[in-house]
Amino acid sequence: QVQLVESGGGLVQPGGSLRVSCTASESTLDYYDIGWFRQAPGKEREGVSSITRLSGRKFYADSLKGRFTISRDKTKNTVYLQMNSLKPEDTAVYYCSAAVVVYEDTWYNPLSYDFWGRGTQVTVSS
């Protein structure tokens, strides 16, 4: 079991930036592939980005490439999602997820992950 905790959400104006973080209190994230998902009201949970545990390979939703960046800091046991040029449609609860192995062709599928955090709210509004 791994308990994931997200932080860093908040209110930001359109065009602004925000970095959300995912950490684990009693486990090391080094053993897991990590995914970021988001869910807006009335919508399905969608894959945002993922990073593998071994090679550090990164995946992004096509619509978010160039604006979002995922990274892993092993010294801090934290995975980050840097979000730039934010738009109102990026408003959602952002969730961190983990699995020992996530197949690359299904990184965007919530069913590929075994552990989830409670999420952090990101609101983009003027």
Q: How far apart are CA 85 and CA 87, in angstroms?
A: 7
What is the pLDDT tens value at each position of the chain, 126 positions in all? Answer: 899 999 999 999 999 999 999 999 888 999 999 999 999 999 999 999 999 998 899 999 999 988 999 999 999 999 999 999 999 999 999 999 999 999 999 999 999 999 999 999 999 999
Of the candidates 125, 43, 30, the one whose C-alpha atom is nearest the C-alpha of residue 78 is: 30
Both tokens of 79, joined, read 């995975």
Give 116's contacts (C-beta < 8 A, 6+ positions apart).
4, 95, 96, 97, 98
Give 11's contacts (C-beta < 8 A, 6+ positions apart).
123, 124, 125
Helix (H, G, I), strand (E, B) or coil at 81: strand
